[in-house]
């Protein structure tokens, strides 16, 4: 089994601006710059033969390059159950279309549908039972986040490997957007 997801990598010049905001939340597990991405579809643990089918299906996904921007911040969860803080992605219909195409590829490869509402974002940190007031203060202090526009000319199939320091990601295959 291999843990997989499809995503768009964040360019290092945009990532540097995100790293500069990684402060002020005690015990936050801040993500390294190389882990910054916009998930298109999380596939989960997949058998090797299904991973090969998924790769073949993703290779058929089409789409034009995307012009994207990050804007604002938020959190997943409420109160002491907040488990992540993130940077938002400016609404983009073409990004949503690409995510839907990745969902279709997953279904064609035999994976179950993802029933979660798609919320494009870049995870900045994972939290474990944080102080809600500290999270609120961090959100208020970073809510004006706005990146310069950046162009995404590809998306990738990534594997996720759990380590003592947190998950590490490896690009397994890249698919062009032309």
Q: Could you tell me the residue ranges of all domains in the chain?
A: 2-176
Q: What is the mean pLDDT of the chain?
A: 96
Task: Work out the pLDDT band at 97, boundaries 50, 70, 90.
Answer: very high
DSSP alpha helix (H) spans, the chain: 12-19, 48-59, 93-108, 132-142
| Residue 164 in this model has a pLDDT that exceeds 90 | no
Q: How confident is the model at residue 163 (pLDDT cuts 50, 70, 90)?
A: confident
Asked whether residue 106 carries a pLDDT value surpassing 90, the answer given is: yes
Dist CA 154 CA 147 (whole Å): 19
pLDDT score recorded for residue 2: 95
Residue of 5, 101, 121, 175 marked catalytic: 121
Does position 100 have pLDDT exceeding 90, yes or no?
Answer: yes
| 146 secondary structure, DSSP code | B
Which CATH class, in words, describes the domain spanning 2-176?
alpha beta
Between these two residues, 67 and 166, which has the higher pLDDT value?
67
Q: Name the percent of the chain in helix, strand, coil, to the closest 5.
A: 30, 40, 35
Is the predicted pLDDT of residue 166 greater than 80, yes or no?
Answer: no
Among 18, 30, 37, 73, the active-site one is 37
Q: Does the annotation count 80 as an active-site position? A: no
Q: Is the pLDDT of residue 167 over 90?
A: no
37 carries an active-site annotation: yes
Q: Can you tell me whether residue 122 is helix, strand or coil?
A: strand
Going by pLDDT thresholds of 50, 70 and 90, the confidence category of residue 152 is very high
CA proximity to 5, closest of 50, 57, 45:
45
């Amino acid at each position: 089994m291999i843990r997989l997801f499809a995503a768009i990598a964040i360019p290092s010049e945009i990532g540097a601006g995100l790293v500069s905001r990684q402060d002020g939340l005690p015990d936050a597990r801040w993500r390294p710059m190389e882990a910054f991405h916009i998930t298109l579809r999380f596939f989960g643990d997949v058998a090797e033969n299904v991973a090969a089918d998924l790769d073949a299906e993703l290779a058929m996904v089409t789409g034009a390059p995307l012009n994207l921007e990050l804007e604002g911040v938020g959190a997943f969860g409420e109160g002491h159950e907040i488990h992540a803080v993130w940077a938002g992605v400016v609404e983009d219909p073409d990004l949503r279309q690409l995510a839907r195409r990745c969902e279709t590829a997953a279904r064609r490869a035999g994976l179950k549908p993802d029933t979660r509402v798609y919320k494009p974002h870049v995870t900045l940190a994972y939290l474990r039972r944080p102080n809600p007031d500290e999270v609120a203060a961090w959100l208020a202090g970073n809510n004006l986040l706005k990146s310069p526009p950046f162009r995404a000319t590809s998306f990738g199939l990534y594997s996720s490997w759990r380590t003592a320091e947190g998950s590490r990601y490896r690009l397994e295959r890249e698919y062009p957007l032309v």
